[in-house]
Each structure stands twice: as structure tokens, then as C-alpha cells.
Amino acid sequence: MTRARTAPVLATLTFNPALDLQTGVDVVEPENKLRCDTPRQDAGGGGVNVARVVGRLGGRATCILPLGGSTGDALQARLSAEGLDARVIPVAEETRQSFTVFDRSRDAEFRFVLPGPRLREREIRALETALAELSPRPDVLVASGSLPDGMDPGRLARLARVARRTGVRLALDASGEGLRAGLEAGVWLVKPNLRELQECLGRDLPGLSSRLAAARELVDDGRAAWVAVSLGREGALLVGAGFAAHALALPITPVSTVGAGDSFLAGLVWELSRARSPQEALATAVAAASATLISPGSGMARSVDIRRLRPGVRIDILEGG
């Protein structure tokens, strides 16, 4: 007798992963040697971060990603150390690094993102093949993060069409032409921040009503079943058919912004994929993002902080409910 699944099958696709390094200095200043703290290393990239936070919420997600060179080897070692399930596609060029420096004199964080490798056509096809061969087939696929230099943004439209044809719900976190391409093909969920949404639609969205109308436009046009807009200190919006809600930001003092958007997406996808109400999903998403904001460097949200913060998230229902 086949045993029924009790949890959704999730996968993430990260086209441009990074080995994240985080350190601190007394002051960032020119010319002088800056004596840094012992660095912390974490596997990074949008989909990797999403999988990490899904795990801390009690789920599991398989990461599909390209890795190359000694940096790729180090990143893969970090994935193994964390117990994250990964399907790695070897690539010819070196995986990128990114690093974050915390300046204690300014109480400020400086983030440096290095360019990633250029993926060859056969390497991109190998990623797509790895996704197609996943067994069991994922209920939800999260495609998150930047695209490598030279990669055709139309690949995200192709990914969206394949996902729809195979019954996989695609959650997309992209920007620029990649975001436009994915939306034109149609996705299950999209998570732009305010700047990305404004650039995608080609107009300013100065207040809550205009942002709500923009998200509603994407839903009504069939470009996304769910639109989640992260608004920074103004909270977040979640809009779907017959539903809209605004979550207020929690009154916290951010320590690091690394991975906050990925954590928000992880909470949202985890709850919606388990058929939780959109209000519950939005509350978990805000709590996960906030837990990451109070975690130093690239450490991401801790389970204990998500649980502690979630009851304090305020959701205003704007439509439906």
C-alpha cells in the first residue's frame, strides 16, 4: 500500500549561487589595512537560502545549482555540512563569492557582490535536465536569485511554461528582464520588492493603493496567481484572486539584511504549499524575514526567532479573507 505524503515536495533552482563570506571591522576607511574578524562562510544564492529557511520551518527542499572551481567545492562542502539536499551540476568556470563587512564605527553593513560565471549552453541544459529528472516531481519549484552574465532571461519563461505543463507550481523571485519574461509566461507566485515591481511595470507606485492595484493587475492578467510585494519598513503585500492583505513590519532593529527576501519567500511558499490560509502564510513570511534581519551576517533566520516573532505580526485584510 502506498503511503500518502504528508508534506509537500519542494525544490529550488539557483542559477548563480555564491559562497557568502561575512566579517567585521572597527571602521571601513581608505588606504589603511583593515584588520578583519574571523570570517564566517555560508552557502548562498536565492534558492539555497530559501531551502535553508524551509528546513528551519520543518520542511525540506532539494537545491539544484551549478558549481565550479575551488569556490564551488567549498560551497558544496557547506551544503553537506548543513544537511541540505543538493543536485549539483559541475560547470567550467569558478563559482562566485560575495562578502559582507560590518563597520562597527557606523553600525553599518557593506555588501560586495562579485560577478558569477558565464554558463555554457550545455550546462544550462544540464540544470534543466536535473530538474526534469527529480523524483518525486516537486509540488513547488522556487527559482530565485540573479541570472549569470550572458544568460538569456527567456529561460525563465521557458521554465514557467514547462512547470505549468508538468503540473509544478513555480514561485519566481527575479528582477529585470528575467522577471518580465517569467510573468509573461505566467507563474504561480512572484515575489518582487517595490523597486523590482516598479521597474517591471514601468511606473512609480507611491502609495499602498497604487501598489495594491499593480499587484492586482498581475493577478487579473493571469501573469501570477499570487503576488507578494516586499516593502521594507512598510511591511509586505500579498494579493491573489479575491484576496489582498497588508502585513505591517515588526518593530525590530535590523542587524543584517542578507537573505531577508529569501526568508520571506521561504515562509510564504512553505505555508501556501501546505494549504495554509494566505493570512497564515503572510505572517510566517514576515516572521521569517524579520528573524533573518536580526541574525548577523549570512546566518539567516533561526527557528526559535521565527516562532517567537510570528505571534506579533499584524495582518490587515484588504479584500476577502
CB within 8 A of 202, min separation 6: which ones?
none
Return the beta strands (E) in the chain as ranges.
Answer: 10-13, 18-25, 40-44, 61-67, 86-90, 96-103, 108-113, 140-144, 169-173, 187-190, 224-230, 236-240, 243-247, 315-319
Burial 77-100 (b: 16+ CB within 10 A, else e): ebbeeeebebebbebebebbbbbb
Residue ranges of alpha helices (H) inside 137-258 are 154-166, 176-185, 194-201, 208-220
262 is catalytic: yes
The C-alpha torsion from 186 through 151 and 289 to 274, rounded to 10°, is 40
Out of 20, 42, 173, 262, the active site residue is 262
d(CA 49, CA 292): 11
Q: How many CB atoms lie within 10 A of CB 50?
A: 35
d(CA 283, CA 305): 13
What is the grid cell recorded at 250?
Answer: 515588526
Residue 257 in grid coordinates: 539584511
> Residues 16, 298, 98, 78: is their CA dihedral positive or negative?
negative
Question: How many distinct helices (H) and strands (E) make up the chain?
Answer: 10, 14
Cβ count near 14 (within 10 Å): 27
Which residues, in sequence order, are bridge partners of residue 42? 20
Q: Which residues contact 204 (CB under 8 A, 6 or more apart)?
A: 198, 210
Q: Enumerate the active-site residues.
A: 262
